[in-house]
Structure 1
Amino acid sequence: MAIKIYNTLTRQKEEFKPITEGEVKMYACGPTVYNYFHIGNARTFLVFDTIRRYFEYRGYKVNFIQNFTDIDDKMIKRANEEGVTVKDVAEKYIAEYYKDADGLKIQRATYNPRATEYMDEIIKFVKDLVDKGYAYAVDGDVYFDTTKFEEYGKLSHQSIEDLEAGARIDIDERKKNPMDFALWKAQKPGEPAWESPWGMGRPGWHIECSTMACNLLGETIDIHGGGADLVFPHHENEIAQSEARNEKPFANYWMHVAYLNVNNQKMSKSLNNFFTAREILEKYDAEVVRLFMLSGHYRNPINFSLDLLDQAKSALERMYNAIGNLEHVIEVAEDRELNGAEVELSNNLDKFRERYIEVMDDDFNTADGISVIFDLVREVNTNIKETSAKKLAEKALNLIRELGKPLGILEKTTKGNIDEEIERLIEERQKARKEKNFALADKIRDDLKAMGIILEDTPQGVRWKRM
């Protein structure tokens, strides 16, 4: 079965056909590095990390580019506030980005280009558009003439008139058309600037990504993506300027990650529901955050709350309990050939891999992929015991880890931790019984049973054994 991708450009799922057989050329828009990234950004970064991991799991070589926007109005504002240079701000927050991304187990991109590293290429790109009649200079600024690109609006699926009606546009009488956007901005007092044919200035935001994608991946790439908020104007403008210059499709597949809401409200500092990734990582393990973020399909908005993170934490613990039980079985089980029933169970395990690939091939459906892993965990907990063949337990453990890896979860060992956790829960249960809190005691017993642990209350105390 081939991988299918929902293409924002065509609004339908399409079979993925790479430009180069066995390779994926993918560009995802990265952060503007003027602050710590928040959990909404984190969702987008995690999704594209997972897509990259899954392509690699399916045997593709992935050339994954994620840029840093290191010259921008927000960067200049932050530098002025802190009394430092824009370069200082960029260096600081690029380092902080890596710290938080590493903390979330986001693999490093093949390359993280910075806009300021590509200034000569950006200037050439803009000049080519001017020379071809798609752009015009006014007082040191250069604008793209949106009326010259007939397909403007094709990613947003709106006409230029509809886009104009719905957009918040600064009135600038120097522009030929309200929707024209800046390719190059003339220097203002105190701003960093580079020499260009139009005088000292700096690039507009949209031209940076087009230039870096073109230079690092080629004039046509396989996949371009980012958050849903980038469809318009950023990606719409990237298409216009790239295809006007190169006269060929810019990207064959456009992918966009839906919004993350906090307690069913849009995240904003004014509502005091704004969380950075770093704040969440101080309280929750990276795998908990990843499991939560990937429990919904990337094209559907998800709601963020600490209660939902706690649920993800409990779900991850159930998975790791199965891993812990398997690690224990591997230590004590007999190293023998599989019997008839075990051969059948071993064959059934392979079907979980087939189901996982089937759902993940369908537009990277991580929600259903996680469901398959839970079904596998239930199968393992029910059927693999200390009396099972060691080889069967090893196969089950390897499969759980294999299916978790594209999601960036289930890669740790529980050796040394699982027995301590069981003893701790038994102590909590004993305390609850003494305090006549029988509801809590029963809940702990049920939790232990879900972990594959049976309790026996004896005159000598509580004993436990694995199911």
Structure 2
Amino acid sequence: MATSARTQPPWKEPQPSAPAKLKVWNSLTRTKNEFVPVDPAGKEVKWYSCGPTVYDDAHLGHARNYVTIDILRRILAGYFNYNLKFVQNVTDVDDKIILRGRQQHLLSQFKEKNSSVTKEVIDTTIKAFDTYVKKNLPLLSPDLLPENFNKESAEKYAGVIAGKSLEGTGPAGDKEAKVKMHLRTAGTAAAALLSPSNSSEADVEEFYAGAEDVLLPYLDSLHGSSIDADDHTIFTKLTQKFEGRFNDDMKSLNVLEPDVVTRVTEYGPQIVEFVEKIVEHKYGYATTDGSVYFDIDSFEKVPGNHYARLEPWNRNDKGLQADGEGALTKQTSEKRSDADFALWKSSKPGEPAWKSPWGPGRPGWHIECSAMASDVLGEQMDIHSGGIDLCFPHHDNELAQSEAYWSQKEGGHQWVNYFLHMGHLSISGSKMSKSLKNFTTIREALARSDWTARSLRIIFLLGGWHDGVEITDDLRKAGSSFESYVTNFFYKVRDLEIHPNTNSSGAEDEKVRKQFESAKEKLHNALADSFDTPTAMRAISALITDYNSADKTALSDKVSFEIARWVTSIVRIFGLDGSVAPSDATIGWSGIDIPEEAKESVYAVARERDEIRQHAIAGDLSPELLTSILSKDKAAKQQDAASIPYAEVLSTFQENVKDLAQKKAPAKDFLALCDRLRDLDLWDLGIYLEDRENAPSMVRPIDAELRAARDQKDAIARQKREAKEKREKEEAEKKAKLAEQAKIDPKEMFRTEEFTAWDDDGLPTKDAKGDDVAKGRTKKMKKEWEKQKKLHEEYLKSGA
């Protein structure tokens, strides 16, 4: 249902006996409000989310935003059963895209013209280096040579390099991160200039790769204005490439596709119409250069209209205002107020342009979302979302211009009921940002196996959605621990499908059911409390702990399966199991099953191994018993290609058992064979048999945790082996040295230049100067002589 102007929906407290109603943290009110959709039936939810600006690859900071929004979207639809219309835009034209597209186009032309590193290329790059350093690193000498860059930058920016602030007091922040980025860029260019090479095409590419970031802005300053404004392909070539890569990244993170995607370049006429109506309502004005600005003063003169509702404390922040206007926007004296922002920008030479009543131009940054969201969702929506950095000026400007567009009377218009803003992902106190170049791309992180779609999503679920997240070792461990805990729970319950428990007691079922109901209530209350996923995750972990503590011999499989299906449905709602629907009746998530083609042979060999191992330990193995065990399972004569390796393990194990039986081998040989099956044969096929006390072995796939445990075990064994080999080697060397020493006649052992006279036994009496050897020293040498005499006599007796 539509709300009245400047009022929120009628928040109602739930009755004590009723389940908690959903409340969400609303940036618009800066408090938690009960969620009441505009839809009179209370089921349809209209949601607009700010999408990517597609000029580079998405990084983990973007993953934080889009995965977290995806989690909230899934909870609203999958848990609270709302029907969502989810709209997300693609910003495919703005100042950053224009700059990046134009710069890449000019660099491409420059490289085509200069396929080798000529003197002209070097001269141009030196000028680009000088320009970059003067603009971005003012502490360095204006005439700094590339060969002196490392030395001078290390001196002038020593504090920043060491992690301090520019002023030397307080912690480093975004400003220092930007300086470090400029130092890296200039340093890479200096290195390229100091070692140019034309020996191969790869060397030329390496030079351009090093010099690229100083050449891009320099070439743009020289030739940017020459770009044909009507040739939009210069820019769409860039945006189409990165939009495709963004979509691939989102799929790899299991982020649901939007129901509707809008692109700025496809909304030119609608944006012009939107701006015209704002001007018609007296909330916008045109300037002589063909731009149109939003008139904040006129807007706020109307009772009920307020500007900067999301972050009123930032409304006069000139830095944020400038960021909102874009790097290509130039101030004009015709603006009625410094805070007025562009609805439509006249296109300067080198910028793409669309027709408008005010002349060739392009949309302001903020107007695009207002026009697109209004076109698809109408005059009012339930939810608007995005990163926390979009609050001001982007979303505040969106709000003002949209309310100005839809307003027909005094009292204003409620365009958005709930603003949801996701917290940042931080690195060492600085947010992850394309402009700071301090990011790891999503595809890099996944390719290096730093993260999986599940492990990264778990990290975000363990943090509040609107809170900042800094990934630490402790957070990684917490995420890994949760994933392993749930995985091991699924292993145990799924094993009941193979080895059902036929014993149960009503008392144990009743106790566990009460714990189950308590967990469901805790999770519901957490999700209803503004999507409190950290508390919800703890509720799941606590339930698994209760389950693990229960007496499994007295717990019915029915209760185990009920709990497992509920946990499965929740983790699927959270998006932790690929595209599997939460309503799917199966148990567990991907990664807990061995291959389908392995099951027949592997479960058979596991059963045989369990029986043989049990009887070997009991000491009652017999040929008749072994024959009986092996007769239960035979590998099929016809096998699919994928099944053959597993069938071979079964047949090989059976043949080895028969061979040992024929030899009447001792029990220890059968146990060794069982260990080999577990530790080598099946392990090499990615399958592990987990031996359990008083229970059949559990068949499970090998995961990262098992591999890490095996690697650690192998490392310890290797260390012990190496230590033993070292000891043995040292002992052998010592023994060899002693044997060699034993050959020396004690009468000859002291006949060296250190002495000049000896007695009949070869003991020294005079030193090199002819002086008598001191009594103390003679006494010491006598002991050594006697020891050597005994050693030598043993040597002579041995006849060696």
Q: TM-score range by the shorter chain?
A: 0.7 to 0.9
SS in 1 for 2:267: helix
Quote the residue 2:182 is aligned against.
none
Distance 1:425 1:179 in 2: 57
Give the AA of the match of 1:415: D
Superposition deviation, residue 223 in structure 1: 1.0
Distance 2:353 2:405 in 1: 24
C-alpha deviations, 1:214-244, integer Å up to 9, x for none?
Answer: 1111111111121111111001100110111
- Are the counterparts in 2 of residues 142 and 182 from structure 1 also a CA contact under 8 Å? yes
Superposition deviation, residue 382 in structure 1: 2.3
**83-92 vs 226-235, greater mean Cα deviation:** 83-92
Give the AA of the match of 2:312: H
SS in 1 for 2:354: coil
Q: Quick one: structure 1 residues 221 and 78, their matched pair in 2 at CA, closer, same or farther if it must change by over 3 Å? A: same
Q: TM-score, normalised by structure 2?
A: 0.52
Distance 1:384 1:114 in 2: 58
- Are the counterparts in 2 of residues 226 and 257 from structure 1 also a CA contact under 8 Å? yes
Q: Quick one: structure 1 residues 280 and 326, their matched pair in 2 at CA, closer, same or farther if it must change by over 3 Å? A: same
Q: Does 1:318 align with 2:485?
A: yes
Quote the residue 1:226 is aligned against.
386
Superposition deviation, residue 75 in structure 1: 1.2
Superposition deviation, residue 395 in structure 1: 1.1
Q: Quick one: structure 1 residues 200 and 166, their matched pair in 2 at CA, closer, same or farther if it must change by over 3 Å? A: closer
Distance 2:264 2:497 in 1: 52
Give the AA of the match of 1:412: S
Quote the residue 2:307 is aligned against.
152
Quote the residue 2:592 is aligned against.
414
**108-117 vs 187-196, greater mean Cα deviation:** 187-196
- Are the counterparts in 1 of residues 343 and 364 from structure 2 also a CA contact under 8 Å? yes
C-alpha deviations, 1:289-333, integer Å up to 9, x for none?
Answer: 001122111222111246643542343122211111211123211
Q: 2:71 aligns with which of 36, 40, 50?
A: 50
Superposition deviation, residue 197 in structure 1: 0.8
Quote the residue 1:378 is aligned against.
545
Q: 1:333 aligns with which of 477, 500, 508?
A: 500
- Are the counterparts in 2 of residues 332 and 386 from structure 1 also a CA contact under 8 Å? no
Identity %: 34
Superposition deviation, residue 386 in structure 1: 6.8
Quote the residue 2:278 is aligned against.
129
Distance 2:263 2:50 in 1: 11
Quote the residue 2:10 is aligned against.
none
- Are the counterparts in 2 of residues 152 and 159 from structure 1 also a CA contact under 8 Å? no
Distance 1:62 1:39 in 2: 26
Extract unaligned runs of 5+ from structure 2: 1-19, 106-232, 301-305, 324-329, 408-412, 578-588, 595-686, 688-699, 721-800
**333-342 vs 289-298, greater mean Cα deviation:** 333-342
Q: Does 1:402 align with 2:569?
A: yes
Q: Quick one: structure 1 residues 80 and 306, their matched pair in 2 at CA, closer, same or farther if it must change by over 3 Å? A: farther
Superposition deviation, residue 166 in structure 1: 7.1
**403-412 vs 329-338, greater mean Cα deviation:** 329-338
Q: Quick one: structure 1 residues 124 and 425, their matched pair in 2 at CA, closer, same or farther if it must change by over 3 Å? A: closer
Q: Does 1:28 align with 2:49?
A: yes
Q: 1:345 aligns with which of 500, 512, 522?
A: 512
Distance 1:307 1:281 in 2: 20
Larger strand fraction of residues = 1
Distance 1:14 1:405 in 2: 27
C-alpha deviations, 1:37-90, integer Å up to 9, x for none?
Answer: 121221111121111101112110011111100111111122223326211222
Q: 1:3 aligns with which of 9, 19, 22?
A: 22
Q: Quick one: structure 1 residues 380 and 8, their matched pair in 2 at CA, closer, same or farther if it must change by over 3 Å? A: same
Quote the residue 2:608 is aligned against.
none
Q: Does 1:259 align with 2:424?
A: yes
Distance 1:426 1:166 in 2: 50
- Are the counterparts in 1 of residues 503 and 553 from structure 2 also a CA contact under 8 Å? no
- Are the counterparts in 1 of residues 591 and 701 from structure 2 also a CA contact under 8 Å? no
Superposition deviation, residue 125 in structure 1: 0.4
Distance 2:566 2:50 in 1: 33
- Are the counterparts in 1 of residues 28 and 419 from structure 2 also a CA contact under 8 Å? yes
SS in 2 for 1:67: strand
Distance 2:445 2:708 in 1: 26
C-alpha deviations, 1:146-169, integer Å up to 9, x for none?
Answer: 111211122213385x44597447
Q: 2:556 aligns with which of 358, 379, 389?
A: 389
Q: Does 1:111 align with 2:242?
A: no
C-alpha deviations, 1:94-129, integer Å up to 9, x for none?
Answer: 111111111111111111111122221111100001
SS in 2 for 1:315: helix
Query: Greater Rg, structure 1 or structure 2?
Result: 2
Superposition deviation, residue 398 in structure 1: 0.7
Superposition deviation, residue 429 in structure 1: 6.7
Superposition deviation, residue 358 in structure 1: 0.5
C-alpha deviations, 1:431-450, integer Å up to 9, x for none?
Answer: 4664577xxxxxxxxxxxxx
Distance 1:45 1:427 in 2: 36
Give the AA of the match of 1:113: T
Q: Does 1:13 align with 2:32?
A: yes
Distance 1:268 1:153 in 2: 24
Distance 2:444 2:709 in 1: 32
Q: Quick one: structure 1 residues 428 and 155, their matched pair in 2 at CA, closer, same or farther if it must change by over 3 Å? A: closer
- Are the counterparts in 2 of residues 54 and 406 from structure 1 also a CA contact under 8 Å? yes
Distance 1:146 1:106 in 2: 38
Quote the residue 1:100 is aligned against.
249
Larger helix fraction of residues = 2
Q: Quick one: structure 1 residues 158 and 332, their matched pair in 2 at CA, closer, same or farther if it must change by over 3 Å? A: same
Q: 1:367 aligns with which of 534, 542, 556?
A: 534
Distance 1:73 1:270 in 2: 13
Distance 2:555 2:417 in 1: 50
Extract unaligned runs of 5+ from structure 1: 438-467
Distance 2:240 2:551 in 1: 52
Q: Quick one: structure 1 residues 216 and 387, their matched pair in 2 at CA, closer, same or farther if it must change by over 3 Å? A: same
SS in 1 for 2:593: coil
Q: Quick one: structure 1 residues 423 and 63, their matched pair in 2 at CA, closer, same or farther if it must change by over 3 Å? A: closer
**428-437 vs 133-142, greater mean Cα deviation:** 428-437
Quote the residue 2:356 is aligned against.
196
Quote the residue 2:332 is aligned against.
172
C-alpha deviations, 1:155-186, integer Å up to 9, x for none?
Answer: 213385x4459744764212111011111111
SS in 2 for 1:47: helix
Distance 1:278 1:319 in 2: 26
Give the AA of the match of 1:235: H
Quote the residue 1:457 is aligned against.
none
SS in 1 for 2:373: helix
Count of residues in Structure 1 that have an aligned counterpart in Structure 2: 436
Q: Quick one: structure 1 residues 42 and 430, their matched pair in 2 at CA, closer, same or farther if it must change by over 3 Å? A: closer
Superposition deviation, residue 388 in structure 1: 4.0
Structure having greater relative contact order (Cα 8 Å, sep ≥ 6): 1
- Are the counterparts in 1 of residues 51 and 89 from structure 2 also a CA contact under 8 Å? yes
